[in-house]
Amino acid sequence: MSSQIEAIESRLNPLREQLKNHELYAALKTLEHVKTFTEFHVYAVWDFMSLLKALQMQFTCVQTPWMPAADPAIARFINEIVHGEESDLNEKGEPNSHFEMYLDAMREIGASTASIEHFVATLRKGTAVADALQQANAPQAAQDFVNYNFSLIEAGKAHEIASAFTFGREDVIPDMFIAILDRSATSEDSFMKFRYYLDRHIELDGDEHGPISLKMIEKLCGSDPQRWKEAEAIAITSLEKRLALWDSIYKAL
C-alpha cells in the first residue's frame, strides 16, 4: 500500500470508527426496523452501480467500434468489479445483480419496494435522477446521498469518482455490514436472502473488491499531489454523507 493511501486511511479512521460503531446497528431490534433500514439503504445500493458505471465508461470501451483501453490495468480492475456486482450469483446460483438481490431480500422480509421501483421506472423514461427521486418520494436523506454522488459523476473527474467509490463504499462496506450482522436482530433471524446479500458483500468487498479499488486509486492519482488532495477531500465528504444517511435512518426507526 502506498504512503498516500496510508495517509488517507489514517485521516478516515475517526469517520470509519463512527460508522463502525454507529448507534443505528444496535437499534435494528425488530423486523420493522430492518424494513425501514432497507427502504432507505436500497438507494445507496442502486447508486453504487452508477459510480461504477461512470468509471467503466471512462476506462473501458462500452461502444462500437471497440478500441483498446488506454490503461488495461485499470480496465481490468473495473471489469472485475462490474462482473461481481452486476452479474453475481444469488443464493440459488442464478445470475443476478446485487441490486436485484437486495430487492429480493426486501420482498422476503416484507419491506416496501414501491418507491425504488417507481424511481427506476421513472429513470427508464429518461427523467433526470434528481427529478426521479422526488417523483418516487424517496426519503430526503437518500435523495441527498444520491444527488451528491451524481454531482461527482457529472463533474467527470475519474479520481474523485473512484475515491467516492472506494473510500465511501467498497472500502468501508465490510465493517458496516459485519456490524449489522453482529449487533442487530438480523443475526438471530433466518432472513435467507438478506443474510446472503450481506455475507456476499462481506466476502467480495473485503477479500477482492476493496484491494482492487485501492490499486485503482493509486493508478489514477499517480504522482500528482493535487489529485491525491482531491481524492482525500472526496473520501472524507463521502463518509460524512454516509454518516448523515445513517443518522437519518436511526431517527426514522
> pLDDT per position in the chain (253 positions), as tens?
689 999 999 999 999 999 888 998 888 888 888 889 999 999 999 999 999 999 999 999 999 999 999 888 889 888 988 888 888 878 888 878 889 999 998 898 889 999 999 999 999 999 999 999 999 999 999 999 999 999 999 999 999 999 999 888 755 665 666 677 676 655 555 577 877 887 777 776 655 666 778 888 998 999 999 999 999 999 999 999 999 999 999 999 8
Residue 132 pLDDT: 98
Structure letter (DSSP) for residue 185 = G
Alpha-carbon torsion, ordered 9, 22, 177, 108, to 10 deg: -150
CA 209 to CA 217: how far, in whole Å?
Answer: 12
The CATH number of the structural domain formed by 3-61+72-86+95-252 is 1.20.910.10
Please state the domain extents for the chain.
3-61+72-86+95-252
Residue 242 pLDDT: 93
- Among residues 188, 253, 194, the alpha carbon closest in space to that of 36 is found at 253
Residue 151 pLDDT: 97
Q: Grid coordinates representing 76?
A: 481490468
Q: Grid coordinates representing 2?
A: 502506498
- Residue 137: how many CB atoms within 10 A of its CB? 12
Residue 195 pLDDT: 78
Please count the CA atoms within 13 angstroms of the CA of 44 that sit on its side-chain side: 25
Question: What DSSP element (H or E) covers 89?
Answer: strand 88-89
Q: Is the peptide bond before 211 cis (omega within 30 degrees of 0)?
A: no
